[in-house]
Amino acid sequence: MPRPDDSFELSVQRRGRALIINLSILARLADIYSSSNDAVTNAAERFLSDLREIMSDLGEVTVKMASESFFVEDMRVKATKADLDNFAALIKTLDDRGVGSLTFRSSLDAPTIIDCMYALVRGEDLAGIQAALDAASDGAMAVDAAQAARDDSDVDLRDTRLVARRAYAKAVAALVDIHRTLTAGKSLNVKRAKRAVQSLVDSIAKDEPYVLALTTRRKRDHYYFLHCINVAVMAMALGRRLGIDKYAQSRLGMAAIFHDVGLSEEKVEYLAGRSDLSPDEINMLEEHPVEGVRLLLRSRGLNEVSMLSMLIAYEHHMNLDMLGYPRPLKMWNPKVLSRIVRIVDEYDTLLSRKVFGQENFTHEHVLSIMHANARNAYDPQLFGLFLNMIGSA
Amino acid sequence: MGFGDTADDGGVVDIQNKVVSEEEVALVREILKALVKTIKTFTVYPKGNPIYEKFAAEMSEKFAAFFGRTDILSLEVEQNSLSYKGHTVFESEDRHSNFSLILYVDGIRQISFHEGLSEEELVSFIDILRIGPKDDNLDDDVVTLLWDKDLPHISYFVPEEVGEFEMGIEEDLEGVVVEFPSASPSATEAGGAGAKASETASASPIGPGGGGSAAETSASSGAVPGTGLGRLREESEGLRGDALLTATLSLFFELMSAEQDAERFADLARNIGRAISILAEGGDVGGIIKVLRLLRKLADASEDERSRRAIGEAGEMAGSLETMKMLFSGGSDPEMLAEYISLLGKDAVVNVIEILGQSEDRNTRKNLCDALVPFASKDVTPFINALDDARWFLVRNLVLVLGRSKNPDALRPLERSLRHRERRVRNSVIRGLEHLGSKQAVSVLAGLLSDEDRTVRMNALRAMKNADPDTLYPYLLDKVLRADFGRLEFDEKRAALEALGEIGREDALPYLKRLLTKLPIFRRTEVNETRACAAYGLGFVGGETARALLESGTKARTDLVRAACRESLKRFKKNA
């Protein structure tokens, strides 16, 4: 079984951890020794080496601290048992001064970072520390107040519908974030989306009709993201009805989120309400499965979810009669999970036309269109299961 | 009165103020103390053991007793402690048994147990704490394990995100209404009702105010193994691990076949390289062979130099040292390994040689040598460099490979290796020259017949006899007729005279006869030894004359000669 190869996450974890440990050591040494001490200089060099490595990838780096955890690129950095003392020391240093985040905007040299550290450990309040940092680094390093970690304590876990709404909203927010990094050519951080999808899986198990009902809130605003999450939700629900376990449902959901990644947000919204496409537009549409694979290849490394994402992105417009698109050079059998997405994607896309002004695309009208296409386009067993699902919902 | 109720007599106050009764705190402490003991017990005793079962049951009872008074037990998690409503209820600095640390390290800051917690859930939770996730595996953290185990009465808070949260969407969803039964149909009812029911079900819209038809749905999944939906489920569940990788590779090759853009082509090729390393980790030689064959096909079909280079780079991963270490340590089928090596580019030879040097298994070394011969037959360059390796056992194997290659270019490096400090290498060079078998190789062997090392002389004799007996004969004759021949060791004389007899046959007869019949005057032992060796030689000549000579020799006065003649006569009987 391929082991996870979320290279971006692993990379941030590894480098983030090293950065925090070396920052902690530097801060403690700065508290004890003078700036001319070798130990301080060496610690500064080590810290800068980590910082430069991480900045070469991410540009500006912000280290946040909340609920006794550190976050880099909004990803919680996991401490091993061996790191805990260093983490705890830095937490205390920051906590005592009301500092919640440190931002490094541009490259620093050793003397500057040392001055910044002295500004931090000798400062008594946020404003004083920031003023000292400005003087020392000319804005290259900044601090900010502590922020709370996003706290779901307002959610009564017994209120399954509130939990479902929260999970859905988090999934959309995570996808917006992912999309931003994808279009910026950066590697993908999917951890947030993963947790949200897992929560959706649980919600579907507890109250499938309600979660499916959430997909009906179609709007023009954020259409692309809502559509992707709707497809993921319906795919997971259909997968659950097929009998696949929750881990497989979660994988399917994560992969389904990326099914239209080959189309930009603008293109999707442009095409969404249109039925009369020009040849160029049709060409663009038919290219998007392959384009999706290309984008995913560059961004996601090779692991279970990324491979599944690529297959679904490639196959989700293929019909059973081998028409549809793309048209592979050799015989091709779309996978079951792709066939699931084929159906739910079509359903959500057609229903969304109403949002873009085509009022006649009611639920009944959409189903009549799908019935007419069913023989050639969809897996009959899955289509039957799907109709059962939305019929029962 | 349960916990948290307000009371006028003090002690028990509103939960909001987190001031609670000593009794409640003590109960929580008891529970956690019992939890620590239960974790240790589960480590020692297997499931099903009476002691295991007893602890599990007692643990469950303690929780049940707590839930008799309140419906939730929430603990704040810190590095070395747990607290309950502001009171420390567990503390430990022992990194091995401190389960709060396990939770803390994975980001859990609060964990709650809810009324209804079953023994099964508790056992699953304890197993997670006991076995614990690995430090370096991102996906294998406690949070994922908890989710995976599906424990509905255990909840937790992990601060995964910082800062403001986009609430707009959530607020927007608050208006969603579902007007139909909330209970989902059973997912275990069989029947494949999906296909049939679908066509008749008047599906009602899902949505605000949308009345759903009271579901006439029966089966939701109908996914009985063997039935249509069951097969679909099996197919979807089967799409993981190697099957998923294979499907993905098919996709890559499909895209590569159609790709015109060089950079995108290279992207695909790079990912094939990554896929190869995944296959190698799984010891899947067959999978790698398939990929290599496909790559070769692609390369042959490609007219673009850059594409061929990209394909080559993808293939390099297959021949990397890391990949080979994984494959050769996995006990894979030798024939498949040989095929795998044969598909690699010549640049991979260096790595194969390195694996040969590291391998401790005899069969693996043999297979590697067999696989290297075809490479050596085309190009000996990578082998030449490796002949300077400090590991004599590697050099020994390589000289044999060079010999077996029959590549004329192998001669010079073999000759050079005759000067190797290790005798076993020098002897292997002789065998290598024998395998090489060319005129020039035989000429080198001939030169070794008079080497100062007896073992070398004898090995060279043996090798030359196998490689080119006709060329050996005159050298043998020369050796045998030399005045100092008698002074050689017995086994060397025997080997030479036997070879003379075997190769020369009738031509050798007069020489062997002369040696057999020579009576010693001086150097008696030496002469008698030579006579005995001549008898052995006559045994290989065969024929009546030789037989008569040997029979006469059985009456010799010397035991050694008589015994040799008798033994040689046995050869006649055997060959008769």
Give the DSSP letter string of B514-568. Answer: HHHHPPPSSSHHHHHHHHHHHHHHHHHH-SHHHHHHHHHHTT-SSHHHHHHHHHH
Q: Which residue has the higher pLDDT, A71 or A267?
A: A71
Q: Please give the span between the terminal C-alpha atoms of chain B, in angstroms, as a whole number.
A: 113
Question: Which chain B residue has the Cα nearest residue A329?
Answer: B254
| Integer angstrom CA distances of residue A156 from A141, A166, A171, B119 | 40, 11, 19, 24
- How far does B234 lie from chain A, in Å, by closest CA? 8
* Mean pLDDT on A294-323: 86
Question: Which chain B residue has the Cα nearest residue A223?
Answer: B169
CB within 8 Å: B192 and A381: yes
Mutation for B interface: A385, A386, A387, A390, most B CBs within 10 A = A385
CB within 8 Å: B135 and A80: yes
Q: From the CA atom positions of chain B, what is the Rg in Å?
A: 42
Spatial CA neighbour of B531 closest among B493, B482, B492, B569: B493
* Cβ contacts of B204 on chain A, cutoff 8 Å: 363, 391
CB within 8 Å: A214 and B109: no
* Cβ contacts of A209 on chain B, cutoff 8 Å: 178, 180-182, 184, 206, 212
| Integer angstrom CA distances of residue A48 from A52, A116, B302, B366 | 6, 12, 47, 51
- How far does A37 lie from chain B, in Å, by closest CA? 32
**Predicted ipTM?**
0.79
Local structure of residue A152 (DSSP, 8 states): G
Please give the order of strands across the beta sheet that includes A61-66: A75-77, A69-72, A61-66, A99-104, A141-145
Work out the pLDDT band at A107, boundaries 50, 70, 90.
Answer: confident
Question: Which chain A residue has the Cα nearest residue B96?
Answer: A81
Number of Cβ within 10 Å of residue A28's Cβ equals 17
Tokens at residue A79, please? 């401490």
Spatial CA neighbour of B400 closest among B439, B440, B372: B372
Q: A61-66 and A69-72: which strand pairing? A: antiparallel
* Cβ contacts of B264 on chain A, cutoff 8 Å: 294
Mutation for A interface: B161, B174, B202, most A CBs within 10 A = B161
Can you give B337-365 as a three-state secondary structure string?
HHHHHHHCCHHHHHHHHHHHHHCCCHHHH
- B208 interfacial to chain A (CB closer than 8 Å): yes
Contacts of B192 (CB under 8 A, 6+ apart): A381, B219, B222, B224, B227, B228, B229
Is the pTM higher than 0.80? The answer reads no
Q: Cα–chain-centroid distance for residue B229?
A: 37
Among A152-161, A310-319, B383-392, B485-494, the least confident range: A152-161
Contacts of B6 (CB under 8 A, 6+ apart): B12, B13, B14
Q: Of the candidates B173, B193, B235, which has its C-beta nearest A169's C-beta? A: B173
Local structure of residue A128 (DSSP, 8 states): H
Q: Of the candidates B148, B175, B217, which has its C-beta nearest A247's C-beta? A: B148
* Mean pLDDT on A209-233: 89
Question: Which chain A residue has the Cα nearest residue B184?
Answer: A208
Residue pair A369/A289 in contact (Cβ under 8 Å)? The answer is no
CB within 8 Å: B169 and A241: no
Spatial CA neighbour of B510 closest among B556, B545, B555: B545
- Residue A114 pLDDT > 50, yes or no? yes
Amino acid at A374: A
| Integer angstrom CA distances of residue A262 from A8, A212, A286, A288 | 20, 25, 10, 5
User: B 218-257 residues with CB below 8 A of A?
Assistant: 219-223, 228-230, 232-233, 235-237, 239-242, 244-245, 247-248, 251, 254-255, 257
Residue pair A258/A292 in contact (Cβ under 8 Å)? The answer is yes
Ramachandran angles phi, psi of A72, nearest 5° = -125, 135
Helix, strand and coil content of chain A, in percent to the nearest 5, comes to 65, 5, 30
Taking the C-alpha atoms of residue A212 and residue A228, their distance in angstroms, rounded to an integer, is 14
Burial of A330 (0-12, 13-18, 19+ CB in 10 A): exposed
Spatial CA neighbour of A393 closest among B502, B147, B205: B205
Taking the C-alpha atoms of residue A52 and residue A15, their distance in angstroms, rounded to an integer, is 10
Spatial CA neighbour of A75 closest among B148, B165, B107, B145: B107
Contacts of A131 (CB under 8 A, 6+ apart): none
Question: Which chain A residue has the Cα nearest residue B187?
Answer: A241
User: B 60-89 residues with CB below 8 A of A?
Assistant: 78-79
Helices (H), B437-488: 439-448, 454-467, 469-481
CB pairs below 8 Å between A and B: how many? 288
pLDDT in tens, chain B (576 residues): 333 333 333 333 334 445 688 889 999 999 999 999 998 888 888 888 999 999 999 999 999 999 998 889 999 998 889 999 999 999 988 766 688 888 888 888 889 999 999 999 999 999 888 876 555 555 567 888 888 787 888 988 877 655 555 556 767 777 766 643 333 333 333 333 333 333 333 332 332 233 333 332 333 344 555 578 889 999 998 898 878 888 998 898 889 888 888 888 888 888 888 888 888 887 888 888 888 888 888 788 777 777 788 888 888 888 888 888 888 876 777 788 888 888 887 788 899 999 999 988 888 888 889 889 988 999 999 999 899 999 999 999 999 999 999 999 999 999 999 999 998 999 999 999 999 999 999 999 999 998 888 999 999 999 999 999 999 999 989 998 888 899 999 999 999 999 999 998 889 999 999 999 988 888 889 999 999 999 999 999 988 999 999 999 999 999 999 999 999 999 877 765
What is the percent of chain A with per-residue pLDDT over 70, rounded to a whole number? 91
Cis, bond preceding B225 (omega within 30 deg of 0): no
* Cβ contacts of A94 on chain B, cutoff 8 Å: none
Local structure of residue B402 (DSSP, 8 states): H
Q: CA torsion sign, A71 to A75 to A76 to A82?
A: negative
| Residue tagged 């038919």 (tokens) | A286
Spatial CA neighbour of A4 closest among A209, A302, A299, A297: A302
Contacts of B507 (CB under 8 A, 6+ apart): none
Please give the order of strands across the beta sheet that includes B81-84: B87-91, B81-84, B72-77, B110-114, B154-157
* Cβ contacts of A297 on chain B, cutoff 8 Å: 267-268, 271
- How far does B74 lie from chain A, in Å, by closest CA? 12
Tokens at residue B538, please? 């006559």
Q: CA torsion sign, A214 to A220 to A221 to A226?
A: positive
Taking the C-alpha atoms of residue B421 and residue A280, their distance in angstroms, rounded to an integer, is 75
Local structure of residue B487 (DSSP, 8 states): G
Burial of A53 (0-12, 13-18, 19+ CB in 10 A): middle
pLDDT given at position B200: 31
CB within 8 Å: B248 and A76: no
* Cβ contacts of A234 on chain B, cutoff 8 Å: none
Q: From the CA atom positions of chain A, what is the Rg in Å?
A: 25
CB within 8 Å: B232 and A362: no
- B36 interfacial to chain A (CB closer than 8 Å): no
Q: Of the candidates B107, B141, B222, which has its C-beta nearest A69's C-beta? A: B107
- A101 strand-pairing partners: A64, A144
Taking the C-alpha atoms of residue A61 and residue A253, their distance in angstroms, rounded to an integer, is 30
- B260 interfacial to chain A (CB closer than 8 Å): no
* Cβ contacts of B199 on chain A, cutoff 8 Å: 384, 387
- B361 interfacial to chain A (CB closer than 8 Å): no
* Cβ contacts of B242 on chain A, cutoff 8 Å: 1
Helices (H), B201-304: 228-238, 241-258, 262-281, 285-301
Question: Which chain B residue has the Cα nearest residue A82?
Answer: B95
CB within 8 Å: A241 and B208: no
Identify the three-state secondary structure at position B21.
Answer: coil
Instruction: Indicate the length of chain A as a whole number.
Output: 393
DSSP string, A250-270: HHHHHHHTTTTTTS-HHHHHH
Identify the three-state secondary structure at position B10.
Answer: coil
* Cβ contacts of B220 on chain A, cutoff 8 Å: 241, 385, 388-389, 392
- B110 strand-pairing partners: B76, B157
Q: Which of A245-259, A297-311, B11-25 has the highest mean pLDDT?
A: A245-259
Question: Which chain A residue has the Cα nearest residue B98?
Answer: A81
CB within 8 Å: B233 and A302: no
Instruction: Based on DSSP, count helices (H) and strands (E) in chain A, helices before strands.
Output: 15, 5
Spatial CA neighbour of A120 closest among A94, A146, A95: A94
pLDDT given at position B168: 67
Ramachandran angles phi, psi of B295, nearest 5° = -65, -40
CB within 8 Å: A173 and B202: no
Amino acid at B468: D
Q: Of the candidates B105, B220, B267, which has its C-beta nearest A294's C-beta? A: B267
pLDDT given at position A12: 77
CB within 8 Å: A388 and B221: no
Q: B87-91 and A69-72: which strand pairing? A: unpaired
Question: Which chain A residue has the Cα nearest residue B105?
Answer: A79
Local structure of residue A331 (DSSP, 8 states): -
Taking the C-alpha atoms of residue A170 and residue A164, their distance in angstroms, rounded to an integer, is 10
Identify the three-state secondary structure at position A361.
Answer: coil
Question: Which chain B residue has the Cα nearest residue A334?
Answer: B247
Local structure of residue B484 (DSSP, 8 states): G
Q: Of the candidates A69, A210, A242, which has its C-beta nearest B236's C-beta? A: A242
Burial of A279 (0-12, 13-18, 19+ CB in 10 A): exposed
- Residue A152 pLDDT > 70, yes or no? no
- How far does B294 lie from chain A, in Å, by closest CA? 14
CB within 8 Å: A76 and B107: yes
- How far does A89 lie from chain B, in Å, by closest CA? 12
